[in-house]
Structure 1
Amino acid sequence: MTWKPLSSGVAAASLLVAVPASAQYMPHLDPNLYMLTTMNMAGGANTCMTGTAPPENEIAEARDPAPRLVQSYFDAAQSGGKLTGAFRDKKKASWTHAGRTVLYAEIDQQSDPLVAAGNRLDPEPLRFFRAGNFQSAQGQWSVLDASGAVAGVYDVVFKRQKGIWRIDALTVLGADETVAPAMQYCMEPGDVTEHKVEAAGNQIEFFEEQIAKSEEKLVRERERLAAAQEKLAGSPNRSSFRERVQREKQKVARREEKLEELRENLVDAREFQSDSNRDVAEIAAITGPARDALRFRGFELTTDREAAEEKAAEEAKAAAD
């Protein structure tokens, strides 16, 4: 899912509408949301918390060696070889199955239930994403039994060691275990969708507070305008009274314009919240037993598809112009 411009959906930078762009601290906002806002202002790769994926060549750089690494692990597990051959040689590298996680030193002692006789690894990943901050990648592979049915899934996180991609964490999921589809992430798998839901709520709260404050100020500014007009009515020739009325009218006009902008942003924030909640619901709907994981292939959030269609339409219009 991509964050849209204010005209069609709230971007994180929209939080600065009611705050000077130069502001360096917004204590009334969640710190994580403020970080996201400033990251979006910076542009480029720093927009990863919005779900922006790295360029295709960067994704390929991580994706190309991944199947070989997982196959190397599978072959070792099936033959009784050294499982850690494809892992990063780090203390924190991990292997997980049935809720139990062991670190690098114990991985070679584990027994993988998916390497039963007749099973094979499907070399084509079900899902694969490189982190928006470029530091890791996540992929999911199915293990098929002799009949072609899914015996289980490997959920794998990759990181580089001395510039070479290696397995950093591998989770073994049996056919009856629940697995959610990997999605584009920024720093840790799952963080983008989670953050958008939180950010949407914070945006709504922020704009509602700003609207309430602005409405209160508008009441006072209209009262001051009425008082100035009353004085001018009593002394219509006083230039100072005419000037004061003009100043108060300008203040009211600016306040009304700002209030309208805030209200439009609140509408966009609520739309963004609706989209974010829909993302969560769509991911939950496809989450299920690993035996059904083949349906992960081609899975796309409605918001992602809509964003792609919008972008294509904009590019076509620009080309036509």
Structure 2
Amino acid sequence: MDKLYDVIIIGSGVVGNAIAREMSRYNLKIGVLEKELDVCNETSARNSGVLHAGFNNKPGTLMAKFCVEGNQGFDQVAKELGVPFKRCGKLVVGFSEEDKEKLIAMKEQGEKNGVKGLEIIGKDKIKEIEPNIDGEFAMWSKTTGILNPFLLTIALAENAAANGAEYYFGNEVIDIKRVDDIYNIKTEKDTYKTRWVVNAAGLYSDRVSKMLGIDDYTIHPCRGEYFILDEKVGSKLSLPAYPVPNPKEGGLGIHLTPTIDGNVFIGPSSEYIDERDDYSATQKIMDLLIKDGGRIFPHIRREDFIRNFAGIRPKLASKEEGGYHDFVIEMRDEAPNVL
């Protein structure tokens, strides 16, 4: 392809499309390369659909900064894009004194990050907010919300495309070379030329980094499995309900989340796997979801299960390390004009 782009974004998940939309506000020639045949086929499609408040993130990190900023500004984003969104709040439920100590620490961490409206509440208040949730006490987060991640990701892409960004699907990047200050990005279909490259490739971002000469990162795929409950259960749950998380696992625990469409999700589990595209559902994990989810939400019945699915987290923290690493947003000398 002879066309020269100012910027090519690799990856059209929610991050890649948000970047494409933001850059399309300017007079730039923008291309987006995606190995799948449409946007929102991997991580952005396979999650709980929760807009987090920002209390789970370590103060001072990019994760904390952008989670809080993103939450506070999302009403405007949803309005601009026409994306359904509900700021319903969330309960993080505990049962033991150890849980209570963790909730108090979580509240303090959230307040350091700038999260507003966090409150430790007792059993009576839990039942007042959501009668169908069980727990001895909880942290009540008023600013948490739920949204449809498919519609958000698609709306970002459509807005970027309407502003002139050009999308190329079924174009998996296989090689990148820089010649005379221009990047030649080779895919299975063509070669694309660009002055700047943005790596937003999610589960494959480490491989793209290596093509660009940055060898520091390894993505560790971590699978989470879900059950979807029938809409008739949706009336019994008005907001997300989470257990107190285990920081070592680096997940938020098996939780219950209502969807914008009226279903309920149970999940996700947290299991490191070898393959980045293994979306299998396993009987062992399905049984675990029922057991752990039923502790908080006792209205789980097998006849209400209508579907299961899995998502894969692109984690920089290995199984041995546990927990999270921060987001990586950087420019490096060994890869000029790359974000």
> Under TM normalisation by the shorter chain, which class is it?
under 0.3
Flag the structure with larger Rg. Answer: 1
User: TM-score normalized by structure 1?
Assistant: 0.27
Name the one with the larger strand percent: 2
User: TM-score normalized by structure 2?
Assistant: 0.26
Name the one with the larger helix percent: 1
